[in-house]
Amino acid sequence: MKKLSGKSHIKVPGFTFSGISAGIKQSKDKDLALILSNTPAVTAGVFTTNQIKAAPVQLAMKNILSRKGQSIIINSGNANACTGPQGLKDAIKMQTTAASLVDIPTDLMYVSSTGVIGKPLPVSIIVKSLPLLVSSLSISGINDTAQAIMTTDTYEKVFSKKLKIGSKIGSITAIAKGSGMICPNMATMLCFIVTDISLSYAALDAALRSAVNQSFNMLSVDNDMSTNDTVMIMANGALGNKTITQRSPYYNSFKKTLNSITYELAKMIADDGEGATKTIEVIVTGAGSESDAISVAKAVSGSMLVKTALYGRDPNWGRIIAAIGYSGAAIREERIEVLINNIKLISKGTGTKNEHKVQKKLEDNRIVITINLGLGTGTARALSCDLTEGYIEINAHYTT
Amino acid sequence: MKKLSGKSHIKVPGFTFSGISAGIKQSKDKDLALILSNTPAVTAGVFTTNQIKAAPVQLAMKNILSRKGQSIIINSGNANACTGPQGLKDAIKMQTTAASLVDIPTDLMYVSSTGVIGKPLPVSIIVKSLPLLVSSLSISGINDTAQAIMTTDTYEKVFSKKLKIGSKIGSITAIAKGSGMICPNMATMLCFIVTDISLSYAALDAALRSAVNQSFNMLSVDNDMSTNDTVMIMANGALGNKTITQRSPYYNSFKKTLNSITYELAKMIADDGEGATKTIEVIVTGAGSESDAISVAKAVSGSMLVKTALYGRDPNWGRIIAAIGYSGAAIREERIEVLINNIKLISKGTGTKNEHKVQKKLEDNRIVITINLGLGTGTARALSCDLTEGYIEINAHYTT
Q: Which tens digits make up the pLDDT trace of A61-84?
A: 999 999 999 999 999 999 998 898
- Residue range A305-316: mean pLDDT, rounded: 88
* pLDDT of the residue at A275: 77
- Is the pLDDT confidence value at B155 over 70? yes
Min mean pLDDT across B192-196, B370-374, B384-388 is at B384-388
* pLDDT of the residue at A303: 86
Q: What is the DSSP letter of A7?
A: S
- Residue range B369-379: mean pLDDT, rounded: 97
Question: Looking at chain A, which residue has its C-alpha nearest residue B87?
Answer: A350
* pLDDT of the residue at A398: 55
**pLDDT range class, residue B1, cuts 50, 70, 90:** very low
**pLDDT range class, residue A2, cuts 50, 70, 90:** very low
Calpha distance A65→B78 (Å, rounded): 58
* pLDDT of the residue at A222: 39
Kindly report, residue by residue over A188-205, the tens digit of the pLDDT.
689 999 999 999 999 999
Chain B residues close to A318, C-beta within 8 Å: 79, 81-82, 116-118, 186, 227, 399
Question: Looking at chain B, which residue has its C-alpha nearest residue A397?
Answer: B312
Question: Among B304, B320, B373, B391, which would you mutate to test the A interface (most chain A Cβ atoms within 10 Å of its Cβ)?
Answer: B304
- Is the pLDDT confidence value at B4 over 80? no
**pLDDT range class, residue B221, cuts 50, 70, 90:** very low
With CA atoms as reference, report the closest residue to A317 among A282, A374, A358: A358
- Is the pLDDT confidence value at B398 over 80? no
CA distance to partner chain B, nearest, from residue A290 (Å): 19
- Residue range B238-253: mean pLDDT, rounded: 96
C-alpha pair distances (Å), A132 with each of A98, A125, A258, B116:
11, 12, 32, 60
Question: Looking at chain A, which residue has its C-alpha nearest residue B119?
Answer: A351
Please, what is the Cα angle at A243 between A239 and A245, to 5 degrees? 140
User: Is residue B349 less than 8 Å (CB to CB) from chain A?
Assistant: yes
Residue A311 has a CB neighbour count (10 Å cut-off) of: 25
When CB atoms are compared, the residue of B50, B79, B305 closest to A224 is B305
Kindly report, residue by residue over B39-51, the tens digit of the pLDDT.
999 999 999 878 8
End-to-end CA distance of chain A: 31
What was the ipTM of the complex prediction?
0.75
- The residues near A37 (Cβ < 8 Å, ≥ 6 apart) are A14, A15, A69, A70, A71, A194, A234, A236
* pLDDT of the residue at B203: 96
User: Is residue B317 less than 8 Å (CB to CB) from chain A?
Assistant: yes
CA distance to partner chain A, nearest, from residue B222 (Å): 8
The neighbouring-strand residues paired with A157 are A176
Kindly report, residue by residue over B177-194, the tens digit of the pLDDT.
986 543 433 346 899 999
Higher pLDDT among residues B232 and A395, named by residue: B232
With CA atoms as reference, report the closest residue to B212 among B270, B279, B258: B258
Long-range contacts of range A157-162, CB-CB < 8 Å, 24 or more positions apart? A157/A2, A157/A265, A157/A268, A157/A269, A157/A272, A158/A2, A158/A4, A158/A8, A158/A10, A159/A2, A159/A261, A159/A264, A159/A265, A159/A268, A160/A10, A160/A12, A160/A261, A161/A257, A161/A260, A161/A261
Indicate the burial class of B355 (C-beta count within 10 angstroms; 0-12, 13-18, 19 or more).
middle
Calpha distance B190→A70 (Å, rounded): 59
- Is the pLDDT confidence value at B151 over 90? no
Contact B392, A387 (CB under 8 A): yes
Calpha distance B226→B216 (Å, rounded): 13
Q: Which fold has domain A279-396?
A: Ubiquitin-like (UB roll) (3.10.20)
Chain B residues close to A47, C-beta within 8 Å: none
Give the sign of the dihedral formed by CA A254, CA A256, CA A259, CA A264. Answer: negative
Question: Among B223, B300, B331, B356, which would you mutate to test the A interface (most chain A Cβ atoms within 10 Å of its Cβ)?
Answer: B223
- Residue range A96-106: mean pLDDT, rounded: 98
* pLDDT of the residue at A188: 62
Chain A residues close to B326, C-beta within 8 Å: 49-52, 222, 224-225
When CB atoms are compared, the residue of A313, A314, A399 closest to B316 is A399
Chain A residues close to B50, C-beta within 8 Å: 322, 325-326
Please, what is the Cα angle at A216 between A215 and A220, to 5 degrees? 115
Chain B residues close to A319, C-beta within 8 Å: 117, 186, 224
Size of interface A-B (CB pairs under 8 A): 211
* pLDDT of the residue at A186: 38
Contact assignment for B392 to A393 by CB distance below 8 Å: no
Q: Which member of B145, B188, B227, B257 is catalytic?
A: B188
When CB atoms are compared, the residue of B312, B322, B350 closest to A50 is B322
Calpha distance A297→A300 (Å, rounded): 6
Contact assignment for A399 to B314 by CB distance below 8 Å: yes
CB proximity under 8 Å: A 71-100 to B: 79, 81-84
Averaged pLDDT score across all residues of chain A:
89
With CA atoms as reference, report the closest residue to B228 among B93, B86, B46, B73: B46
Calpha distance B160→B146 (Å, rounded): 13
Kindly report, residue by residue over B14-65, the tens digit of the pLDDT.
999 999 999 999 999 999 999 999 999 999 999 987 888 899 999 999 999 9
- Is the pLDDT confidence value at A176 over 60? yes
- Residue range B277-284: mean pLDDT, rounded: 93
Task: Give me the percent of chain B exceeding a pLDDT of 70.
Answer: 93
Residue type present at position A85: P
Residue B208 has a CB neighbour count (10 Å cut-off) of: 24
User: Is residue A225 less than 8 Å (CB to CB) from chain B?
Assistant: yes
Residue range(s) occupied by CATH 3.60.70.12 in chain A: 15-271
- Residue range B92-97: mean pLDDT, rounded: 98
* Sequential DSSP letters for A138-187: BTT-HHHHHHHT-SS-SS-EEEEEEEEETTEEEEEEEEEE---TTTT-TT
- Residue range B354-364: mean pLDDT, rounded: 92
Higher pLDDT among residues B64 and A223, named by residue: B64
Contact assignment for A309 to B185 by CB distance below 8 Å: no
With CA atoms as reference, report the closest residue to A12 among A164, A216, A201, A160: A160
When CB atoms are compared, the residue of B50, B79, B118 closest to A317 is B118
* pLDDT of the residue at B179: 63
Calpha distance B232→B72 (Å, rounded): 9
Q: Give me the active site residues of A, please.
A: 188
* pLDDT of the residue at B184: 37
When CB atoms are compared, the residue of B318, B333, B392 closest to A389 is B392
User: Is residue A118 less than 8 Å (CB to CB) from chain B?
Assistant: yes
When CB atoms are compared, the residue of A84, A227, A331 closest to B350 is A84
Calpha distance A77→A158 (Å, rounded): 20
Min mean pLDDT across A41-55, A94-108, A233-247, B370-384 is at A41-55
- Residue range B152-173: mean pLDDT, rounded: 93
User: Is residue B363 less than 8 Å (CB to CB) from chain A?
Assistant: no
- The residues near A73 (Cβ < 8 Å, ≥ 6 apart) are A32, A33, A34, A94, A95, A98, A109, A110, A111, A112, A133
Q: Which CATH superfamily is domain B15-271 in?
A: L-amino peptidase D-ALA esterase/amidase (3.60.70.12)
Residue A356 has a CB neighbour count (10 Å cut-off) of: 9
- Is the pLDDT confidence value at A344 over 80? yes
Indicate the burial class of B138 (C-beta count within 10 angstroms; 0-12, 13-18, 19 or more).
middle
Min mean pLDDT across A279-283, B172-176, B264-268 is at B264-268
Averaged pLDDT score across all residues of chain B:
90
* pLDDT of the residue at A180: 58
Chain B residues close to A226, C-beta within 8 Å: 322
User: Is residue B120 less than 8 Å (CB to CB) from chain A?
Assistant: no
- Is the pLDDT confidence value at B309 over 80? yes
Question: Is residue B379 flagged as an active site residue?
Answer: no
The neighbouring-strand residues paired with A340 are A343, A369
Chain A residues close to B84, C-beta within 8 Å: 334, 348-350
Chain B residues close to A348, C-beta within 8 Å: 84
Residue range(s) occupied by CATH 3.10.20.340 in chain A: 279-396
Chain B residues close to A79, C-beta within 8 Å: 318
Question: B400: helix, coil or strand?
Answer: coil
- Residue range A228-241: mean pLDDT, rounded: 93
